[in-house]
Amino acid sequence: MDKIKTVIAYDGSCFKGWQIQPGEKTVQDSLESAIEKIAGKKIKVHGSGRTDSGVHALGQVAHFDAPLGSKMSADDWHRALNVNLPPTIRVLSSETVKKDFHARFSAKSKTYKYVMDTSLILGPHKFLRTWHHPKKINISKLKEACSLYEGTHDFASFAVNRGDGKDIKTERTIFSVEVNSDQEDTLIMSFSGNGFLYKMVRLLVGAAVRVAEDKEDVDWIREMLQNPGKSKCQYCAKPDGLYLEKVVY
């Protein structure tokens, strides 16, 4: 039985997130439907993690077990999936991996990028693909705030409980946060880390932008990192600007 690893891009504005939900169009559901059309049976797809409703992916990773006795190669799966998926989800590559590979549990690091547009009028082609936030942003303060996130911290102040009753560890390591402001009116923040909590990137962006707008002092972020969960960040940036860029194994 072959285990197939796929790298997937999707336009998050077309889906109610990654995870299957009754009555909603999700990415996982679209993938499982495509596989069912090809294999003639239902097969579970495992993603590297859930992305929320409206969040995009440029390099999400998912695996599934090909049906017993299937003679399809990884390349065959690649082509067949793209034929059976909507154009808003594309399989970028596909390969056979070892039995112990798991899209979620084998991941070593993930990179998310967050795209923000500060121009007065958002071009119509950027709608739902960027956070439109037409405010004056102090770039050096944004960089200072983002640099505080680097390293190993308890990010309990930057997480939302999924409400599924599970107690989770909230320590994570962020390897790097890069702020790019080369393009006029466009700000890109890239977060690489060993893992991210539910809504964590959007809360980190929300807090850094509060500081960069002079609405909070940078010490406000320091305190949330030093006293995890004591006060919670209430500023969650829109899903529109968030892209899961890559997962490294």
Asked if residue 163 binds a copy of itself (CB under 8 A), the reply is no
Q: Is 76 a catalytic residue?
A: no
Q: What is the number of alpha carbons within 13 Å of residue 153 lying toward its C-beta?
A: 27
Asked if residue 127 binds a copy of itself (CB under 8 A), the reply is yes
Identified binder of a copy of itself from the candidate list 10, 155, 158, 191, rule CB under 8 A:
10
Would you say 83 or 168 has its CB closer to a copy of itself? 83
Which of the residues 11, 52, 76, 154 is marked catalytic? 52
Asked if residue 123 binds a copy of itself (CB under 8 A), the reply is yes
Q: What is the number of alpha carbons within 13 Å of residue 2 lying toward its C-beta?
A: 16
Candidate segments 124-132, 145-153, 174-182, 200-208, binder of a copy of itself by CB under 8 A:
124-132
Pairing of strands 56-65, 46-47: antiparallel
Burial of 99 (0-12, 13-18, 19+ CB in 10 A): exposed
Identified binder of a copy of itself from the candidate list 31, 34, 122, 247, rule CB under 8 A:
122
Are the C-beta atoms of residues 49 and 59 closer than 8 Å to each other? no
Asked if residue 76 binds a copy of itself (CB under 8 A), the reply is no
Are the C-beta atoms of residues 60 and 9 closer than 8 Å to each other? yes
Residues written for the chain: 249
Per CB under 8 A, residues contacting a copy of itself are: 9-11, 56, 58, 82, 87-92, 121-125, 127, 129
